[in-house]
Chain A
Amino acid sequence: MTVTVPNTGAASSAEAEEAGPPAKRLASPGGRRRRGARRRARRAGLLFAAPGLVLYALVVLWPMLQSIQYSFYKWDGVSASVWVGFKNYVTFFADPVLRSTLGNVLVLIVFFALLPIALGLISSALITRSKHPGMAVYRWIYFLPQVMTSVVVALLFKRLYAPEGAINEALRAVGLDAFAKNWLGDFTWALPAVGLIGTWGTFGFCMVLFISGASSISTDLYEAARMDGAGPIREFFSVTIPGLRGQIAVALTLTITGALRAFDLIWITTRGGPGTSTQTPAVALYKAAFVNPNVGQAAAIGVIMAAFCLIIALVITRVAEKE
């Protein structure tokens, strides 16, 4: 991959230059000239990077700060805003409907994160670490859900889950009529049903990630484990999983924050319903920002989500590095 080439490039020479003893650097006139050239280059660099940095600051950094500011006000989007302090944050954790979105996220994490990662780990362990002809075709298939628009993914499953959809017809065909139901309209089943869409969408990605990671685990480790008399299950826990620590951390971070941020799938399949049984923080944010404007509350939800994402990413990286 283009990005993994070690530091033979600009950075190493820049570091070497900064690390060198200053006295020596100043002593030679050639060094001084080179230092002047570097400064000029860095000034030119700032000029080159400026357009992107300015746009990024205007569209991302500035609104991020404003989100925090908005979150301390009560505002309906039209009339004057009123300072309310931390009330919007308190409301998020106190209001039963808003608080329930966090519970829904926990359920979604099982389907969006834990299930795909477990499936990916098991399959990457079962598939022996050797070249498989035709693997490219499988990889293409497993990645397919990743490149499809979320709207289309939602439609695929809306159809399968419909009262007359394929899943209910299959149940009826084998005589399980009693289990047939309108999956997305059911208070108990809508959330797991939406969750399974996430499982379908991400397990292929996790699998490809783990299979490519497993291929770089040294075969010596497996041989050593076999010599110690480890069975396949112990081998899995003592060699495969530790060897894939980095990939597991990446997959966990992406999928857990994905569950926390779930919007498109849910908005198109259930709009957060029935009732509020599939409502996520992102859906609550959308409703508060644009449906029944309570803009300060929406901003507070956005800040809370960003904080959670950041904490999750930091904790997972920290744990993965420590072990």
Chain B
Amino acid sequence: MLSQTEKIWNYLILTVLALIVLWPVGTFVAASLSPDRAGRPSTDLQWANFVTAWTEAGFTKSMTVSLIITASVVVLSVLLAIMGGYAFGVLGVLGEKVLFPVVLLGMMVSLEAIIVPLYYQFRSFGLTDNLLGVILIHTGMGVPFGIFWMRAAFRALPRAVFESAEMDGAGPLRLLRSIAVPNIMPAVYTLILLNFMWTWNDYFLSLVFLHGDNQTATVALGVFQGKYVTQINLMAAGGLIVAAPVLILYVIFQRKFISGMLAGAIKE
């Protein structure tokens, strides 16, 4: 049993650390609502800052771009992950002794190692400054984790489910549609959330590949903050606008985010 003092100490430590995390965020939120250009907190809440920041930064365009990219990547990645995970986890794959390690290797490949040839190759195909190019790269880089993640989910299903359906003469596609997919939805939801977050939050790839009208929200925010160094309140409002979609999902689905990121880190 815990003594009372021990309990108080635990909460004290937890709270101090939580405040360290929250303090910069809190001052940022306060700044975004401040009428003061330097962003000093004020009780006079200026919600109009968000409107001003939205129009000044041209977020209508860049948020749309981010949304198109993110939605396409999430749909494509999840489809490829389900198919690949089903193949590696249930059906088995011809040559998997070689293929699976090659897939796992992909989880350690960083974007920096491939960005240079990617850019110059895609440029020769006209795929730079083109949403399709970025969508393909995000999706392709997500394949290893997607297969790894969905394979684990499929392997956790009891084998008997598939065997009895196989007896009834169901082909692999029908098995997948009617038996496997309904049973792995929790893993799919987590994968959707993680993919959404990774794609939406990306900065490096968009910075390299997309310019002008095709800028994503994160890159547009980078440009905006460079122009409005003296207007901290607008800069903060713009930052919160860009962070909002993922933050809202994080508020609603916190358990899935945290367990997904922990499991993704440990990769077992």
Contacts and interface: CB of A to CB of B under 8 A. Distances in A.
A200 B203 contact: no
Interface string A139-153: 111111111111110
Query: Which A-B residue pairs are the 4 nearest by beta carbons?
Result: A59-B140, A45-B91, A9-B155, A306-B113
Contacts of B83: 48-49, 51-52
Given A43-B94, A70-B116, A295-B120, A1 B259 contact: yes
A52 to B, nearest CB: 4
A302 B155 contact: no
Which among A159, A207, A267, A303 has the greatest number of chain B C-beta atoms within 10 A? A159
B203 A149 contact: yes
Given A58-B140, A261-B110, A44 B91 contact: yes
Contact of A208 (B80, B118, B258): B258
Contacts of B22: 141, 144
A132 B14 contact: yes
Contacts of B139: 55, 59
Interface size class of B (residues with CB under 8 A): 35 or more
Interface in A177-208: 200, 203-205, 207-208
A97 interface: no
Contacts of B204: 263-264, 282, 286
Contacts of A138: 14, 17-18
Contacts of A227: none
Contacts of A212: 262
A156 B10 CA distance: 28
B158 interface: yes
A155 B53 CA distance: 15
B144 interface: yes
Interface stretch (A10-18, A24-32, A99-107): A10-18
Interface string A67-83: 10110000001000000
Interface of B: 2, 6, 9-11, 13-14, 17-18, 20-22, 24-25, 27-28, 31, 38-39, 80-81, 83-84, 86-96, 99, 102-103, 106, 108-110, 112-121, 136-137, 139-141, 143-144, 146-147, 149, 152-159, 162, 166, 172, 176, 186-187, 190, 197, 200-201, 203-204, 207-208, 218, 221-222, 225, 232, 235-236, 239-240, 242-243, 246-247, 250, 254-255, 257-259, 261-263, 265-266, 268
Contact of A55 (B6, B143, B268): B143
B121 A63 contact: yes
B239 A42 contact: no
Nearest to B261: A146
Contacts of A268: 203, 222, 225
B109 to A, nearest CB: 6
Interface of A: 1-5, 7-14, 37-38, 41-49, 51-53, 55-56, 58-61, 63-64, 66-67, 69-70, 77, 119, 123, 126-128, 130, 132, 135-136, 138-152, 155-160, 162, 164, 166, 200, 203-205, 207-209, 212, 246-247, 250, 254, 257, 261, 263-264, 267-268, 281-282, 285-286, 289-290, 295, 298-299, 301-303, 305-306, 309-310, 313
Contacts of B99: 49, 53
B24 to A, nearest CB: 4
A67 B89 CA distance: 32
Main secondary structure on chain B at its contact with chain A?
helix
A53 B2 CA distance: 53
B84 A53 contact: yes
Given A64-B113, A132-B10, A139-B258, 13 more contacts: A7-B155, A45-B87, A45-B96, A49-B84, A59-B140, A60-B114, A143-B250, A143-B254, A143-B258, A149-B201, A159-B28, A200-B21, A306-B112
Which among A3, A158, A286, A313 has the greatest number of chain B C-beta atoms within 10 A? A3
B236 A59 contact: no
A126 B235 CA distance: 39
A67 B92 CA distance: 32
29 contacts: A4-B263, A5-B152, A9-B159, A10-B162, A45-B90, A46-B87, A47-B87, A48-B86, A53-B84, A55-B140, A60-B144, A63-B118, A123-B17, A128-B10, A142-B18, A151-B242, A152-B239, A155-B221, A155-B236, A156-B28, A157-B24, A158-B225, A212-B262, A261-B112, A263-B204, A295-B120, A302-B113, A303-B113, A306-B112
A250 B25 CA distance: 27
Contact of B136 (A46, A59, A70, A148): A59
